[in-house]
Amino acid sequence: SSDGLVLTNAHVVTVQDESGREVDGAVFTLKMSDGTVREAKVLGKAPDFDIALMRLTDTTNLTPITLGDSSGLRVGDDVVAIGNALDLGDSPTITRGIVSALDRSLRESSTVTLHGLIQTDAPINHGNSGGALVDARGHLIGINSAGVPDAQNIGFAIAIDSIKPLLVDLEAGRTPTATPTAFLGVSVSQTPSGVTIVSVTDGSGAGKAGIEVGDMIKKVANTDISTIEQLGEVLRTIMPGTTNMVRVLRDGVQIDLNVQMGSRDD
């Protein structure tokens, strides 16, 4: 931002001492796009979301990036990932790609699972973490988070719309925590006619309620469903352990089933 705020990944700015304890108050050196070097300190971190907010100590002559709107993204949209891949040089690296999928989940560590991710085929290697994912207009639509080792052209970014609600707490030094997210227990595919179930997890709420492969999800609770993004949004509003109506279309017949939701972090 024009007043020196910088977004990055929490894991990028986490410093530990020899005993493994986290060190607070570390000062980081940031290289700007014009080659100058400035210092920055962490204002706040949200490890549950792998997001951190920093502030530059020198805020003169900054040209801030424009925050975009990730809710408007569509599969196939052009994107550019910016970072310092593999730490190969002093200048940023830029890789181009498209949005491959939306609303992905990724277990980043034994304690952190990220949700609502943007999947892209723009290569995201070591050193790209914490960098910007921008759209065709150059607007920030995500923070690069992770690539998949030994996989070709599979990278993930944290959608900017999931970061915006965290900014007030982060700037004030508070730590936002993730709300438990409901797990329906199915894998789905987007088809021209809607969201179709391609697999059902054994022992899940969906399986116990009688949801089957090939069913098309038409409604969850009070929300009509026609896209995977809509399904992800409504599941993030539902508490694990609650029972909710799921309407499916099977062989041309609509069926209402009561599903007890699990937790995506189980």
- Say if residues 39 and 28 touch (Cβ distance below 8 Å): yes
Burial of 172 (0-12, 13-18, 19+ CB in 10 A): exposed
Give the confidence band of 102 by pLDDT, cuts at 50, 70, 90: confident
Tell me the average pLDDT across 116-137.
Answer: 86
Q: Mention the CATH class of domain 182-263.
A: mainly beta
CATH architecture of 70-163: Beta Barrel (2.40)
Tell me the average pLDDT across 105-119.
Answer: 77
Q: What is the pLDDT of residue 151?
A: 59
CA separation for the pair 56, 41 (Å, rounded): 7
CA-to-CA dists, residue 213 to 79, 208, 216, 253, 264, angstroms: 33, 13, 9, 15, 20
CA separation for the pair 106, 185 (Å, rounded): 15
Residue ranges covered by each domain of the chain: 70-163, 182-263
Q: How far is CA 98 from the centre of its chain?
A: 16
Residues noted as catalytic: 11, 50, 129
Per-residue pLDDT reduced to its tens digit, 147-168: 665 556 788 999 998 899 889 8
Tell me the average pLDDT across 102-124.
Answer: 80
Q: What is the pLDDT of residue 96?
A: 92
CA separation for the pair 223, 162 (Å, rounded): 20
Tell me the average pLDDT across 93-105.
Answer: 87
DSSP string, 11-76: GGG--B-TTSPBPPS-EEEEE-TTS-EEEEEEEEEETTTTEEEEEES--TT--PPPB--GGG--TT
Phi, psi values for residue 205, rounded to 5°: -60, -40
